[in-house]
A and B are shown apart, each in its own frame.
Chain A
Amino acid sequence: MINYLNLVINEPRWGILVSFYYFLLAISSGTMIVALLPGFLGNPITDKVFKKASYASLIALLIVPLVLIAKLLQPMRFIFLFNPMYFNPLSPLAWGGLLLTAYGAVLVFFMYQRGWIGIKQSQTAMRETVAAGESGIRGITLGLFFLGLAVTLLPPAELIVVHGKAFWRGDLLPVYFFTSILAGAAVLAALLSIYEEEANIRFYTNIMIISITLSVIWIILRSISLTTGGTEEVLALKKWWSNSVFLTGEVLLGLIVPFVLLVRGGTKYVSVRIIIASVLAIVGVFAMRYVVIAIGTTAILP
């Protein structure tokens, strides 16, 4: 039994702003992946859904630099990330800067080609542009999907290289960040419900139900794997399961309540139920990111 009389652990640098940054990446990539999923499953992608997804993705992505500036406090040094002389190929963060720029550029180009942003085109001119770039759009669509996947996997790639933190170690972590798909489905389900568009909302709510189920399975598997680890893993497990944000924000509000609202039968207030479930699921995805950062940075031994 050790009784610490003086124990110094320098404060972690990452906190709520990094959690928010990861959350924005989840919204941006998740909406695009989920919007494109029907196309990959052989179903048509409706333009209304695609437009909403593109705007949601772009808005979330545009907030990212603001969050990073607020965190770094040195906005001018941002450009160092794009200096080839300083580029560290071993750092996921260095690749992340390029990835987010590429994702943003492709997204903006895609929206411009569709006539959703930029100079207002006449219907005829827009049809001509779309027709001229038809093959290109298919390529861009595919590019957007895979770039979105890469953006989804950026946060876990940044975390799993940190071997000194028990909660971030292990092959299971990247799987959990596929909750971006839950966030994306929730954003689209909420937007379609708010705008009262019947564009296959069921498809998005089903994705939410599947994602919630997979999240619960992941939490159980991760808990079991932590119990089989050393002292640091057990400490992480204790901190995780005693964290109020995890229990209330992620599990209760983010997983259980949306699941109940979505699987509950009846035709009354369906839209309201979907909107509430979606908003809560989005809150849960943010809580999940916050918990991963909070537990990862604090569950360390002296």
Chain B
Amino acid sequence: MARYGMVIDVRKCLGCMSCAVSCKMENSIAFGVFRAWVNVAERGDYPQVRRHFLPRLCNHCQNPPCTWVCPVKATFYNKADGRVVINRDRCIGCGYCIEACPYASRFASPTVHTADKCDFCGHLLAIGEKPACVRNCLGQCRIFGDLDDPNSEPSILLAENPVQVIRPELGTLPKVYYIGADILTQAQGRWE
């Protein structure tokens, strides 16, 4: 039993988008939709300007609103590894989970017409590898592992650093944590 999660150290993010590109290549994601992406913004006025990067993906919430609404239990929280996954053979493509996700992490696959989202590259986890975005992160800002293992890299980072999550007020308990995402802390987990 594991509880996979991710810590993203935003201080190391270069904004190179290699996570977004490698995710698309690894999972054959169509144009116009994203499982992993990086939001980029500038704040301030010259000469006090700062650029912020916020790598994004499915938060694999422990209390996922997308699973409550699925009429056929096609999307569910996998207790064996703590991932929120989709059974594509059962998904009817109603899009209810896409609307229920407060992070816009889900989309309708233009090719198979079912809901789609990040699954932490389940096929790579099955062979003992890490997700493509983690493996290809140039700044090594995406750190992936078992949050229940106190000796795992993300657990150590969580113990040693103050972290933020996106929109904590919704009570979804995301398992993607951010270090140094000070742009989030100013507005309770939102870019405002």
Contact = CB atoms under 8 A, between A and B. Distances in A.
Contacts of B43: 1-3
Interface string A86-121: 111011111011000000000000000000000000
B21 interface: no
Given A3-B41, A5-B40, A6-B40, A12 B69 contact: no
B160 to A, nearest CB: 28
Q: How large is the interface on A (under 10, 10 to 19, 20 to 34, 35 or more residues)?
A: 35 or more
Contacts of B41: 2-5, 7
Contact of B191 (A2, A162, A165): A2
B144 to A, nearest CB: 21
Nearest to A83: B72
B4 to A, nearest CB: 22
B98 A77 contact: no
Contact of B90 (A7, A10, A86): A86
A231 B183 CA distance: 16
Contacts, number: 145
A1 B45 contact: yes
A220 interface: no
Contacts of B32: 11
A163 B64 CA distance: 11
A263 interface: no
Given A4-B41, A72-B93, A88 B98 contact: no
A41 interface: no
Contact of B94 (A72, A86, A302): A72
A95 to B, nearest CB: 8
Contacts of B101: 164
Interface stretch (B5-13, B102-110, B126-134, B135-143): B102-110
A80 B108 contact: no
A93 B98 CA distance: 14
A143 B44 CA distance: 62
Interface in B31-57: 32-34, 37-45, 51, 56
A9 B104 contact: yes
B121 interface: no
Interface string A63-93: 0000000011110011011010011101111
26 contacts: A1-B43, A1-B45, A2-B41, A2-B42, A2-B43, A3-B41, A3-B42, A4-B39, A5-B51, A6-B39, A8-B37, A8-B38, A10-B33, A11-B32, A13-B107, A72-B113, A73-B93, A77-B91, A86-B71, A87-B71, A162-B99, A164-B65, A231-B190, A232-B190, A296-B99, A300-B102
